[in-house]
Amino acid sequence: MYSNKTTTLVTAEEMKLIEEEIFSAGMPVASLMEKVALKTAQKIKELYPIKEKKISLGFMVGCGHNGGDALVIARELYYQGYDIVIYPPLIEKFKELTAHHFKYASSLGIKIVSNIKALSICHIIVDGLFGFGLTRKITDNLAEDIAIVNQWNKPIISIDIPSGINSDTGAVLGIAIKATHTLCLGLYKKGIWQDRALEYLGQVERIDFNIPPAFIDKITAEFPTTELLTQEKVQEILPLPRHVTTYKYKQGHLLLICGSKEYAGAALLSAYGARSSGVGMVTMVVPDSLKPLINSQLPEMLVIGCRETSLGSIETLPLLDWQKYQWVCCGMGLTKEAVSVVKKVIASGCDILLDADALNIVANYYLLDELKNRHGKTVLTPHDGEFERLFPDLPFVGMADRIEETRQGAIALNATILRKGAKTIISDNINTWIIPHGTTALARGGSGDVLSGFIGGLLAQNNFTDTISVDTVGAAAWLHQRGGILASEDLSTLGVDGVTLSQYILKAVNELKRNGQWFFNETC
Ligand SMILES: NC(=O)C1=CN([C@@H]2O[C@H](COP(=O)(O)OP(=O)(O)OC[C@H]3O[C@@H](n4cnc5c(N)ncnc54)[C@H](OP(=O)(O)O)[C@@H]3O)[C@@H](O)[C@H]2O)[C@@H](O)CC1
Ligand SMILES: Nc1ncnc2c1ncn2[C@@H]1O[C@H](COP(=O)(O)OP(=O)(O)O)[C@@H](O)[C@H]1O
Ligand SMILES: [K+]
């Protein structure tokens, strides 16, 4: 019953409100701190057990309850036989509870120092300067202390969040601790999943302290929710059951509009992505000159060649029976010349996914209103650069909260937006998913083309079900990253080209199937 919602991300405001619910229900503040800190001390003990040699821990203790947590952890580890040194630079600002714990720790004879350099003899640093209460830039002596500690190259364990990171936006407020471990307390703070915080976090673990789920639900219901997409959820979204009497047109027909003489590979890679989705039929619309290449590489695809410009882009679309297709995926390698193509796709009334040059054309020709008011479902898959080009004037850009920006973008365009990056974000105006895992092996040309084709193929198949787009897109992105991880485990980070990725996505699908109920659902 009290297995906490491990996947919900909270802002500092939500965390404070949840904390208030706990306290007003009768839990004393000091008892909660004691419980949280004991569990955190236990985790540190597991991470760095005392063997033959003593281990010394240097604690940076702030003035708020993050500092209070640090003092309780220090005391408990002192009892367990660790050498403890405490550095409290904000001693004159201590909150009451923090001051009590400091007094008690001092009374036990724990060593207190007044210069950060005295922690240089410690094996490990514990960062309890600031948690989610940090509001302002860190400056002056404190900033210097953090710079010194970061230079030492020692293991650093941050309590709740690395000090200096804004717990909502992930922004570095002046300077931040570069942790090797972040032990996040209770619920994941949103800032931990923002791309710009990633290099400060090290390994992240959550310390559960049994927050009653009803309190979490009550508070998070009042705010837009952001959730980590888990394997269990992906298994719920993607059984893609196949009826025994199904046939190709019942498994979805995807229309890919892509490619140019210059970017022929983008068309191929998106087709390989679509192939990995198992979609029933794929028709590709490409410039005439690409037809032989596609036919030789992907013989199962239907190919419609188009008249092309002198630079080798599609000049105009032929007459298409749009109603035949369950999803239309457009933009990969199209070039910025293909303006009339993108306009026709937007006006088609079909369910569409726009990527790459289709997004650049929307931005260059101010097609945002056409996009917003169109009939049919819209999925957009920008990376950060494309996202910023799409929304240059809107007030939320520059808010510096990638997750919130993506949600606001989805609202503004009445679309599902997948924002690519180290942490992929998928949002419509109701649900926001974060893909928790990922690999830098995907940071190379073509990974995104594979993703678009794969998403398109799954959307085309799932269009026969009542699965909402944001869930299908999320599941596709989850499998895409997982495929990248499996490929890099076999072939190294250097070995994950687009074609290889498209094949390993299928390994990720099979892995899901082995771990879940697909086997039983397959013919239902
Ligand atoms: N919620 C939970 O469930 C639980 C929460 N717990 C713990 O509580 C932590 C949150 O504690 P918190 O609210 O006391 O805030 P925290 O981050 O320690 O520091 C804020 C203090 O810093 C100050 N200050 C701010 N900026 C500054 C700056 N630039 N330079 C200098 N000073 C600055 C600010 O003072 P100000 O000057 O703004 O008045 C204020 O006094 C949380 O992360 C977790 O560890 C657990 O114990 C139990 C369960
Ligand atoms: N550091 C990283 N960690 C995890 N995934 C990444 C990283 N860098 C890029 N990716 C993923 O790789 C893909 C790149 O897409 P994109 O930039 O559109 O490439 P392209 O247009 O060349 O195909 C996205 O899915 C993105 O999330
Ligand atoms: K901290």
Q: Which ipTM was obtained for this model?
A: 0.94
219 assigned to some structural domain: yes
Ligand 2 pocket, residues with Cβ under 6 angstroms: 356, 383, 420-422, 424, 438-440, 442-443, 445-449, 451
Q: Answer yes or no: do 251 and 217 share one domain.
A: no
Measured from the CA of 22, which atom of ligand 1 is nearest? 3
If one residue of 36, 38, 63 were mutated to test the ligand 1 pocket, choosing by the most ligand atoms within 8 A of its CB, it would be: 63
CA–CA distance, 224 with 36 (Å, rounded to integer): 27
Q: Answer yes or no: do 53 and 181 share one domain.
A: yes
123 assigned to some structural domain: yes
Q: Which of 268, 401, 415 is nearest to 354 (CA)?
A: 415
Q: Answer yes or no: do 274 and 217 share one domain.
A: no
Q: Which domain holds residue 356?
A: 231-520
148-160 burial: b if 16+ Cβ within 10 Å, else e = ebbeeeebbbbbb
pLDDT category of residue 521 using cuts at 50, 70 and 90: very low
Q: Which ligand is nearest to the CA of 496?
A: 2
The pLDDT score that the predictor gives to residue 520 is 41
**Roughly what angle, to the nearest 10 degrees, separates helices 65-79 and 96-107?**
20
Q: Answer yes or no: do 194 and 245 share one domain.
A: no
Q: Answer yes or no: do 382 and 448 share one domain.
A: yes
CA–CA distance, 517 with 519 (Å, rounded to integer): 5
CA of 412 relative to ligand 3 center, distance in Å: 36
Measured from the CA of 421, which atom of ligand 2 is nearest? 27
CA of 257 relative to ligand 3 center, distance in Å: 49
155 assigned to some structural domain: yes
pTM of the model: 0.94
Q: Which of 390, 384, 392, 385 is nearest to 371 (CA)?
A: 390
Whether the predicted pLDDT of 72 surpasses 70: yes
Domain count, the chain: 2
2 assigned to some structural domain: no
Q: Answer yes or no: do 214 and 295 share one domain.
A: no
- Cα distances (angstroms) measured from residue 98 to each of 30, 44, 92, 306: 10, 20, 11, 71
DSSP string, 422-440: SS-EEE-SS-EEE-----G
Q: What is the CATH number of the domain that holds 422?
A: 3.40.1190.20
Q: Answer yes or no: do 332 and 296 share one domain.
A: yes
21 assigned to some structural domain: yes
Q: Answer yes or no: do 272 and 355 share one domain.
A: yes
4 assigned to some structural domain: no
pLDDT category of residue 357 using cuts at 50, 70 and 90: very high
If one residue of 27, 69, 130 were mutated to test the ligand 1 pocket, choosing by the most ligand atoms within 8 A of its CB, it would be: 130
Q: Answer yes or no: do 267 and 191 share one domain.
A: no
pLDDT category of residue 467 using cuts at 50, 70 and 90: confident
Q: What is the CATH number of the domain that holds 33?
A: 3.40.50.10260
More confident: 240 or 313:
313
CB of 32 shorter than 6 A to ligand 1: yes
Torsion, Cα 88 92 98 101, to 10 degrees, reads: 70
CA of 139 relative to ligand 3 center, distance in Å: 16
**Residue at token pair 């909270």:** 10
